[in-house]
Amino acid sequence: MSERLVIDPVTRIEGHLRIEAQLKNGIIEEAYSAGTMVRGLELILRGRDPRDAWAFAQRICGVCTVVHAVASVRAVEDALKITIPKNAELIRNLMVGAQYIHDHVMHFYHLHALDWVDVVSALKADPKAASALAQSISRHAQSSPGYFADVQKRLKGFVETGKLGIFQNGYWGHPAYKLPPEANLMAVAHYLEGLAWQRDVVALHAILGGKNPHPNFVVGGAPIAISIYPDHPGRGKGPHYRGGQGGTALDVTGLARIQAVIDAMRAFVDNVYVPDTLAIAGFYKDWFKQGEGLGNFLCYGDLPSRGIDDPTGFLFPRGAILNRDLSTLHDVDLDADDQIHEYVAHSWYDYAGGKNKGLHPYRGETTLNYSGPKPPFEHLPVEQAYSWLKTPRWKGQAMEVGPLARVLMLYAKGHAQTKELVGMALKKLDLPVSALFSTLGRTAARTLETKILADAMQGWYDALVANIKAGDVSTFNDAKWEPSTWPKHAQGVGFMEAPRGGLAHWIVIDDAKITNYQAVVPSTWNAGPRDPAGQAGAYEAALQGHVLHDPAQPLEVLRTIHSFDPCIACAVHLTDEHDSTYEARIL
């Protein structure tokens, strides 16, 4: 029997994503991913001062709140040939790293976990057994029977009020939930701990960027000046005497606090996040065999050590992998006119040259043309345009971006720590390397790269301290700050590896004003609709073949979609709904 599955809104994501799928006997034949919200940011950016662009672009997304700002300032710096001081590079790396760690942990516990963790089942757990389980996998301090009993009591009190709030209508008791009650209780405890942890560790962004979400950046470096004077003689009106007033948040206290945040990040990742991922994954090994998706992976590379123009100094390398072949890595050029193209064949946009053309982002166009059904509607016409996302392609190929792409790239390049971590995880789970090409492979890759980054944070911090000690307090390059120093025409690309994958902004500047701005974001790569040739995007491909126990409770779809960590404002809401078999808005 054939039926239509609609999931809208897809929740526990960023933004507005809708998934439609064609089911046959409970198996997904074809899936369609649709972004259902547009703001026209690229149109708003035109005519503005390029130095202001980061603030607009940053508001593409409040979850990955750092990444669009960084891509934007890099685009302007690339266009105007601005290099940034060493300290600014380290400060940006610390902010990007902190964003990854914060974001990945929140994604795992607060967005993704409820796909694997049955909250209601935790009520049946034996706190002593939960404690024994926790202590067997980690040396995390909060693991006593009393602690778990308290968490369980709190949860019980909550459930007994009869108001389940955010847990209302969850898929509790679904047979796809496999964790024993004790593991569920441990995960719930860490869900709550994670909320507390995350709001403390954003202090790093608050110090270096003034606030979180949406910390501040600046073209040419970092906006925060360093209020530390290593060569001060110690008393009196020395060369940098500042009379005890003012200063910035990056003083000795601020620096010490950053170290404390890094310690807290590493402790949580090592003692909670990594052990939990492996423990939970152990109960869901069949999810290492589905949700493979495209098998093509793309990385732009990021986290420079010798400037953004030198990819050899990147922690995350650049390159492409095709057809799961880790032995051949392909070069990627973001400026080349024949590599990255965006298509609108199935998107609610028009191109002057026709719907089937592909355009490199420098020549990109943003002309809104909603041709979908008038709301309220039941289905989207998937054979025509059905999404506010465009369809990016690399040399005509649909590509997956994100943690899995990066970990595979690091693995293929022989990065020692990655090889060790992947080896450890696969050994613990008793799985082959090919298990990485899967729903849980994606989730595990996210955890492993978090570990790599948490360790790298300390290195960047130490380098920053050493630089300051050596008397280098430069954080900003003002040589090309004034528009009078700019060429009449300039264009550039700012790229980065965002937590969700390769991200790039292309900017064209004429007479000191933005004349074109195009952002191709990770979730556009992953969640984009079909291209003119009918090739599916990463979400659409990954969902193919999923077997649904109950289409009214599409937990399986959510698992795979969430494994990509959708961020749709960047790129779009999934609707599970009705057809003849089940009615969506019934009460």
Is 299 considered catalytic here? no
Give, to the nearest 10 degrees, the angle between helix 86-106 and helix 181-201: 150
CB 457 → other proteins: shortest distance, Å? 17
Q: What are the CA-CA distances from residue 189 to residues 107, 206, 266, 270 (Å)?
A: 16, 27, 19, 17
- C-beta of 170 vs 295, nearer to other proteins: 170
12 a catalytic residue: no
User: Per the omega criterion (within 30 degrees of 0), is the bond before 181 cis?
Assistant: no
**From the candidates 16, 18, 68, 112, which is the catalytic residue?**
68
From residue 129 to residue 158, the character string flagging contacts with other proteins as x (rule: CB under 8 A) and all else as - is ---------------------x--xxxxxx
Determine contact, residues 382/396, Cβ cutoff 8 Å. Answer: no
Instruction: Give residues 452-481 in contact with other proteins (rule: CB under 8 A).
Output: 473-476, 478, 481
310-369 binders of other proteins (CB under 8 A): 348, 368
Instruction: Give the x/- contact pattern for other proteins in 53-72, rule: CB under 8 A.
Output: --xx--xxxxx-x-------
Nearer to other proteins, 65 or 296 (CB): 65
By CB under 8 A, residue 22 contacts other proteins: no
Among residue numbers 522 through 541, which ones bind other proteins (CB under 8 A)?
none
Judge contact between 77 and 84, C-beta under 8 A.
yes
Is residue 143 part of the annotated active site? The answer reads: no
237 touching other proteins, by CB under 8 A = no
Tell me which residues in 95-134 interact with other proteins (CB under 8 A).
106, 110-111, 114, 119
Which of the 8 DSSP states describes residue 218? B
Shortest reach from residue 132's CB to other proteins, in Å: 21
How many CB atoms within 10 Å of residue 479? 11
Marked catalytic residue, from 74, 205, 567, 578 = 567
* Contact between 199 and other proteins per CB under 8 A: yes
Nearer to other proteins, 3 or 455 (CB): 3
Q: Which stretch binds other proteins (CB under 8 A): 129-137, 308-316, 430-438, 578-586?
A: 578-586
Q: Which is nearer to other proteins, 410 or 571 (CB)?
A: 571
The sign one gets for the Cα dihedral 390, 5, 399, 112 is positive
Euclidean distance between CA atoms 482 and 492, whole angstroms: 18
Neighbouring C-beta atoms of residue 318, cutoff 10 Å: 22
Task: Supply the minimum distance, in Å, between the C-beta of residue 575 and other proteins.
Answer: 5
The Cβ-side half-sphere exposure at 197, using a 13 Å CA radius, reads 27
Binds other proteins by CB under 8 A, chosen from 24, 27, 39, 139? 39
- Looking at the Cβ atoms of 159 and 267, the one nearer to other proteins is 159
Smallest distance, other proteins to C-beta of residue 2, A = 19
How far is Cα 507 from Cα 50, in angstroms, rounded to an integer?
Answer: 8
**401 Cβ contact partners less than 8 Å away, ≥ 6 residues apart:** 297, 298, 299, 500, 501, 502, 522, 525, 526, 538
Identify the active-site residue in 16, 104, 406, 500.
500
Nearest distance from C-beta of residue 11 to other proteins, angstroms: 5
Name, in order, each residue with C-beta under 8 angstroms of 506's C-beta and a sequence gap of 6 or more: 75, 334, 361, 362, 364, 491, 492, 493, 516, 517, 518, 519, 520
58 vs 418 by CB, closer to other proteins: 58
Site string for other proteins, 241-280 (x = CB under 8 A): -x--xxxxxx---x--x-----------------------
What is the closest distance, in whole angstroms, from the C-beta atom of residue 335 to other proteins in the complex?
Answer: 28
Question: What single-letter DSSP state applies at residue 272?
Answer: I
Question: 299, 570, 573, 578: which is the annotated catalytic residue?
Answer: 570
CB closer to other proteins out of 5 and 329: 5
| Closest separation in Å from C-beta 52 to other proteins | 5
CA atoms within 13 A on the CB side of 307: 10
Q: Kindly tell me which residue out of 66, 69, 189, 208 binds other proteins, with binding defined by CB under 8 A.
A: 208
Q: How far apart are CA 223 and CA 507, in angstroms?
A: 21
130 CB burial (10 A radius; 0-12, 13-18, 19+): buried
SS3 (DSSP) at 21: strand
Q: Sign of torsion, CA 330 335 337 341?
A: positive
Q: How far is the CB of 222 from other proteins (least distance, A)?
A: 8
- Cα–Cα distance list, 563 to 17, 62, 271, 346 (Å): 14, 19, 22, 24
What residues act catalytically?
14, 61, 64, 68, 500, 523, 567, 570
